[in-house]
Amino acid sequence: MHLHAITLLLSFWLTPSFALHESDAGVVDWHKRLVGVPNTETIHTSPTFHSVSTRKRNSNIVLTATKSNVLAALNPLNGSVEWRYVYEPRDNIVTFQKQDSVVASLSGPGGATLRSFNVFNGDMLLERRLHEPETGLLVQPNNLGTFIAFGKQSNEIYTLTNGATVNSINGGTISWSWTSGDQGSQILYSTISASDDALYVVGLESSFASYVLHVTALSPITGQLISSSTIPSHISNGLDDFLVLSRTIVWIENGKIKCFVLSPLLKGKTTVLQDASYKKLLDIGLGSHGLFIALKDDSSHIVSCDDGDLVPVRNFEGPASEVSYAGGLSKDGYPFVSNLHWSPNSEVVTVEIYSPKLASLVIEYSLPFDAKTHGSISHVAIESATDVIGRLFLTTTTGAIQVWEQDKHIWTREEGLSELKAAKFVELPERLSVLGGEGRSEEGFVGRLIRQAKDVKDLPNYIIRFAKRFATGSYESATSSATFSAPSSSALQLPYRDAFGFRQILVVSTSYGKAYGIDTSNGDILWNRFLGIGQDPVANAVPFGDKLFIVKTVGDADINSEAGPEVVILAKSRVEENVLLFHLDALTGQDILQPSTFVELLHGSIHDTYMLQLSGKKVIVLLDSELKVHLYPDNAESRELFSNATALSVPLRITSSQGHRRLVGHQFITKPNDNGRSEYFAFPTWTLSLTEGHDVQAIINPIRDPVASIGKVLGNRTTLYKYLNPHVVLVLTTPHSSTALTSNAHCGLYLVDSVKGSVVYEATLPTEGNVCNVKATFTENWLIYHYYDNEYEDIGHTKGYKVVTVELYEGKQIDDKTRSSELSSYSNKMMEYTTYEQSFVYPHAISAITLTSTKFGISSKDVIVANANGKIQSFSRRLLNPRRPIGRKPSSEEQEEYLVQYDPLLPDDSRKVISHNYDVAHIRSITTSPALLESTSLVFAYGLDLFLTRVAPSNTFDVLNESFNKVQLVVTVIGLAVAILVTRPIVMRKKLREKWYS
Check whether 312 has a pLDDT greater than 50.
Answer: yes
pLDDT in tens, 632-666: 988 888 888 888 877 544 334 555 555 567 788 88
Find all residues with CB under 8 Å of 422, minimum gap 6, and list them: 508, 509, 543, 545, 546, 547, 548, 569
176 and 169 Cβ atoms separated by less than 8 Å: no
Per-residue pLDDT of 460-491, as tens digits, reads: 887 877 776 666 555 544 444 444 444 433 34
pLDDT in tens, 289-307: 889 999 888 888 899 887 7
Q: What are the start-end ranges of the H helices in 240-395?
A: 371-374
Give the integer Cα–Cα distance in Å for 614 and 636.
15
Residues 165, 131 contacting (CB under 8 angstroms): yes
Phi, psi of 401 (to 5 degrees): -125, 140
**SS3 annotation, 208-234:** CCCEEEEEEEECCCCCCEEEEEEEEEE
Contact status, residue 303 vs residue 291, Cβ threshold 8 Å: yes
Least confident interval from 222-226, 308-312, 506-510: 308-312
Q: What are phi and psi of 596, to 5 degrees?
A: -75, 150
Compare 271 and 344 and report the one with higher pLDDT: 271
- 552, amino acid identity: K
Report which secondary-structure segment, H or E, holds 975. Answer: helix 966-997
- The larger pLDDT score, comparing residue 654 to residue 687, is at 687
Per DSSP, 479 falls in state T
Backbone angles phi, psi at 959, to 5 degrees: -135, 165
Q: What percent of the chain has pLDDT over 70?
A: 86
**CA 591, chain centre distance (Å):** 24
> Dihedral angle at the C-alpha atoms of 635, 639, 640, 646, nearest 10 degrees?
160
Closest CA to 553 of 568, 540, 541: 568
Burial call 455-491: b when 16+ CB within 10 Å, e when fewer = eeeeeeeeeeeeeeebeeeeebbbeeebebeeeeeee
pLDDT attached to residue 563: 67
Q: Taking the chain, what is the end-to-end CA distance rounded to the nearest angstrom?
A: 24
CB atoms within 10 A of CB 930: 22
Phi and psi at 997, nearest 5°, equal: -95, -5
Task: Specify whether the CB–CB gap between 95 and 190 falls below 8 A.
Answer: no
* Closest by Cα among 851, 864, 865, 672 to 778: 851
Q: Are 56 and 66 in contact (CB under 8 A)?
A: no
* CATH class in words for 343-430+497-604: mainly beta
Quick: pLDDT tens for 348-381. Answer: 888 888 887 776 667 888 899 888 888 889 999 9
Closest Cα to residue 71, out of 32, 139, 119, 18? Answer: 119
How does pLDDT run across 951-983, given as a tens digit for each residue? Answer: 988 888 877 766 677 778 888 999 999 999 999
Mean pLDDT of the 107-129 span: 94
Of 421-430, 559-568, 757-766, the least confident: 559-568
At residue 539, φ and ψ (nearest 5 deg) are: -55, 135
pLDDT of residue 459: 80
Instruction: Give the CA angle between residues 446, 447, 448 to the nearest 5°.
Output: 90
Give the confidence band of 66 by pLDDT, cuts at 50, 70, 90.
very high
Spatial CA neighbour of 423 closest among 550, 521, 522: 550
Query: What is the maximum alpha-carbon separation in the chain?
Result: 137
Q: Cα 667–672–677 angle (5° rounding)?
A: 110
pLDDT tens digit string along 922-960? Answer: 999 999 999 988 888 999 999 999 999 999 888 888 777
Residue 578: per-residue pLDDT: 84
List, in sequence order, every beta strand (DSSP E) within 575-676: 578-585, 599-603, 606-614, 617-624, 629-632, 653-657, 662-672
Q: How confident is the model at residue 175 (pLDDT cuts 50, 70, 90)?
A: very high
Helix (H), strand (E) at residue 128:
strand 124-129
Within 10 angstroms of residue 894's Cβ, the number of other Cβ atoms is: 19
pLDDT at 916: 83
pLDDT score, position 13: 36
Task: Read off the pLDDT of residues 230-278 as tens digits, 9 standing for 90 and up.
Answer: 998 888 887 778 899 888 999 998 888 999 999 999 988 889 987 778 8
Mean pLDDT, the chain, as a whole number? 84
Q: For the residues of 706-775, what is the DSSP string, one character each? A: --S-SEEE-TTS-EEEB---TTEEEEEEEE-TTTTTSTT-EEEEEEEETTT--EEEEEEEE-BTTB---E
pLDDT digit string (tens) for 416-465?
Answer: 999 999 999 999 988 765 555 545 555 677 777 887 787 777 788 878 77
Cα–Cα distance, 249 to 283 (Å, whole number): 12
Cα distance between residue 359 and residue 732, in whole Å? 65
User: Percent of the chain beyond pLDDT 90?
Assistant: 38
Asked if pLDDT for residue 725 goes beyond 60, the answer is yes
Q: Does the pLDDT value for residue 52 go beyond 70?
A: yes
In angstroms, the CA 216 to CA 200 distance is: 6
Packing angle of the helix pair 966-997, 2-14 (nearest 10 deg)? 170
- Amino acid occupying residue 907: P
For residues 40, 45, 47, 50, the Cα torsion angle rounded to the nearest 10 degrees is 160
Nearest to 180 by CA among 191, 196, 166: 166
For residues 484 and 142, give the distance between their C-alpha atoms in angstroms, rounded to a whole number.
45
Q: Are the C-beta atoms of 749 and 727 separated by less than 8 Å?
A: no
13, 235, 269 from 260: Cα distances, Å: 90, 14, 6
pLDDT at position 102 is 93
pLDDT on residue 797 = 59
Q: What residue type is assigned to position 528 of the chain?
A: N
Residues 571-624 have pLDDT tens digits of 888 777 788 899 999 999 998 888 778 888 888 888 888 888 877 788 999 988
Q: Please indicate whether residue 28 or residue 196 has the higher confidence score (pLDDT).
A: 196
Cα(661)–Cα(673) distance, integer angstroms: 32
The SS3 call for residue 75 is: coil
DSSP-assigned beta bridge partners for residue 854? none
Please return the burial class of 500, using the count of CB atoms within 10 Å of its CB with bins 0-12, 13-18 and 19+: buried
- Closest of 879, 870, 554, 856 to residue 707, by C-alpha: 856
DSSP 483: P
pLDDT number for residue 432? 63
Query: Strand 728-735 to strand 514-519: parallel, antiparallel, or no bridges (unpaired)?
Result: unpaired
The answer to whether residue 921 scores a pLDDT higher than 80 is yes
Contacts of 200 (CB under 8 A, 6+ apart): 192, 193, 194, 215, 216, 217, 218, 244, 262
**Residues linked to residue 842 through DSSP beta bridges, in sequence order:** 801
Render pLDDT for 24-38 as a digit per residue (tens, 0 to 9): 555 568 999 999 999
Q: pLDDT per residue over 501-557, tens digit each? A: 889 999 999 999 899 999 998 899 999 998 876 555 556 788 888 889 999 988 775
DSSP 416: G
